[in-house]
Amino acid sequence: MKPLEKRIKKLGDALLNAGQKSTSNLDLGELAEGLTAAGLKPIFVGFEEEEQEMKRIVISPCFGGFGLSEKGIYRYAEIKGLTLYPEKHDYGLTTYWVVPPEKRTGILVDEAWREATLDQKKESNRLYDEYQLGDRSIKRDDPILIQVVEELGEKANGAHAELKIVEIPDDVDWIIQEYDGNEWVAEAHRTWG
pLDDT at 145: 98
Mean pLDDT, residues 26-38 taken together? 67
The domain locations on the chain are 3-37, 54-98+133-187
Between these two residues, 63 and 31, which has the higher pLDDT value? 63
Average pLDDT over residues 89-100: 92
Residue-wise pLDDT for 59-90, tens only, equals 999 999 999 999 999 999 999 999 999 999 98
Model confidence at 2: pLDDT above 80: no
In the predicted model, what is the mean pLDDT of residues 156-163?
95
Higher pLDDT, 65 or 39: 65
Integer CA distances (angstroms), 25 to 8, 30, 170, in order? 20, 11, 34
d(CA 87, CA 134): 12
Task: Encode pLDDT of 103-116 as tens digits.
Answer: 999 999 999 999 99
Cα–Cα dist 160/68, whole Å: 9
- The residue with greater pLDDT, 167 or 39, is 167
Q: Is the pLDDT of residue 119 over 80?
A: yes
The C-alpha atoms of residue 146 and residue 143 are separated, in whole angstroms, by 5
What is the mean predicted confidence (pLDDT) over 160-173? 95
CB 66 within 8 A of CB 156: no
Question: Would you state the pLDDT for residue 125?
Answer: 95
Confidence of residue 189 (pLDDT cuts 50, 70, 90): confident
Has residue 21 got a pLDDT over 60? no
Give the DSSP H or E segment for 186: strand 182-187
For residues 174 and 168, the answer to whether their CB atoms sit within 8 Å is: yes
Banded model confidence at residue 193, pLDDT cuts 50, 70, 90: confident
